[in-house]
Homo-oligomer: A and B are copies of this chain.
Amino acid sequence: MTVAETCALAKKNACAAANLTEEARNRMLTLAAQALCSRAQEIIKANEKDISACTRGEQFIDRLRLSDSRIAEIAEGLTQLCALPCPAGEVLERYQTENGLDISRVRVPFGVVGIIYEARPNVTADAIGLCLKSGNAVVLRGSKDAYFSNAAIVEAMKEAWRQGGFACEFVQLIEDCSREGAREFMRQKKYLDVLIPRGSAALIQSALENSTVPVIETGTGNCHIYLESSALPEKALSILMNAKTQRTSVCNAAESLVLDESFAQKHLATIVSALQNAGVEVVGDAAAQAICSAVSPAEEEDFFTEFLSLKISVKIVRDIGEAIPFINAHSTGHSEAIVTENQEHAERFLREIDSACVYVNASTRFTDGFEFGFGAEMGISTQKLHARGPMGLRELTSYQYRIRGNGQIRK
């Protein structure tokens, strides 16, 4: 099938996804989870085919590799979705106009969600589960490197549904994994209601450049921790170390440390020493170097970089009035935190920082659908249109106005 034909097939079957009962959705999630486990050996065999054809590095292959335990985790994720209610159908508001029109605004599924992602086969099952639970059809365009793994996962889930007597054609996997196929996918506006790229900055940039389908931009996080002069040193260090080192390869990890000069004078040496003991490379501006000689010189570019590794940039500011514009100018709009005991400054930071998630006295690592209590996550939006921050089931819906009249015409 061509890319367009695959998308058209999903659209044709979108109604089937939207009209399922809650009971049917949960039954399908359970069947899919069981099928992944019972067909784990087949899936692992397909995965081995992908791995043996793959010429990429170890880290890449590590993300691609499936095992019994990883498949069990993926299946567990599907099962957990059963506990969450489908958000579609909720009446968001209902009112009467003067001429007697009864207007309701009702939450509805998007229709067809397109997902383009890299060589992480777990995304395949996750995305199908989230779309099923939110009432959406889904077209998956995974990486060529994971094609056999993805196909095996999709086939296991769909076959379980077929046997259970359920519709399954609202889930489609693109066969054409070429670069041209990706571009074509991004232009299926006729069939896709939204496109969600999940993966590297390059992939997301390509979607922004090429897509005619509305895109939800996800993921890049140049996150800042700002230690204000009133911060308690222990709390500051604990939050910073957690945000920078607990897991470095994720978008909600800290990449930049901003300190009030007065706080830095007293505490920067201790902080840098703790960071370096944890293996973190510390680069900073001239002021930071002057205060602490263990800080290496930073390039201007470092302050714009999401390192995703054991490296951090340090910037010294006079006060919050200088910190906020610095952060707004360098952040990617993901997550930023202030550590402070000054209530007024805390509230100012919350109000004036232009990011999806703004924290007072907590680690940026909490920006996550599960941590926020959504029970599931489709990614973290860094744009302002539609959804911002962690996206769960609710963020996979749109709304529709339903208007009931008794013959009203416009004067």
Contact = CB atoms under 8 A, between A and B. Distances in A.
Contacts of A363: 408-410
A208 B189 contact: yes
A95 B402 CA distance: 30
A402 B401 CA distance: 30
Contacts of A15: 352
A365 interface: yes
27 contacts: A103-B372, A103-B373, A189-B208, A193-B383, A193-B384, A214-B215, A214-B383, A238-B407, A346-B404, A350-B402, A357-B403, A358-B400, A358-B402, A359-B403, A359-B404, A361-B405, A361-B408, A362-B404, A362-B407, A363-B410, A365-B409, A366-B403, A366-B408, A366-B410, A384-B398, A388-B401, A389-B401
A385 B384 contact: no
Interface string A362-391: 110111000111000000000111101100
B385 A400 contact: no
Interface of A: 15, 95, 97, 101, 103, 110-111, 189, 193-194, 208-209, 212, 214-217, 235, 238-239, 242-243, 246, 346, 350, 352, 354-363, 365-367, 371-373, 383-386, 388-389, 398-410
Contacts of A386: 385-386
B208 A212 contact: yes
B402 A362 contact: no
Nearest to A381: B398
Q: In this complex, which of A15, A110, A355 has the most chain B Cβ atoms within 10 angstroms of its Cβ?
A: A15
A103 B359 CA distance: 9
B111 A401 contact: no
Contacts of A383: 193, 214
Contacts of A384: 110-111, 193-194, 214, 398
A233 B293 CA distance: 87
Contacts of A212: 208-209
A408 B383 CA distance: 26
A400 B352 CA distance: 11
B354 A111 contact: yes
Contacts of A407: 235, 238-239, 361-362
Nearest to A234: B407
B189 A366 contact: no
Contacts of A95: 373
Nearest to A235: B407
A403 B400 CA distance: 31
A276 to B, nearest CB: 20
Given A97-B373, A403-B360, A239 B409 contact: yes
Given A246-B410, A385-B386, 11 more contacts: A95-B373, A101-B362, A103-B372, A194-B385, A242-B409, A358-B402, A359-B405, A360-B404, A360-B405, A362-B409, A365-B410
Nearest to A405: B362
Contacts of A246: 409-410
Q: Which 5 A-B pairs have the closest CB atoms?
A: A362-B405, A242-B409, A384-B398, A365-B410, A386-B386
A57 to B, nearest CB: 28
A372 B401 CA distance: 10
A409 B366 CA distance: 8
Nearest to A404: B360
Q: In this complex, which of A365, A385, A399, A402 has the most chain B Cβ atoms within 10 angstroms of its Cβ?
A: A385
A362 B215 contact: no
A252 to B, nearest CB: 9
A97 B214 contact: no
Q: In this complex, which of A214, A352, A373, A400 has the most chain B Cβ atoms within 10 angstroms of its Cβ?
A: A400
Nearest to A367: B401
Given A209-B212, A401-B358, A404-B361, A371 B410 contact: yes
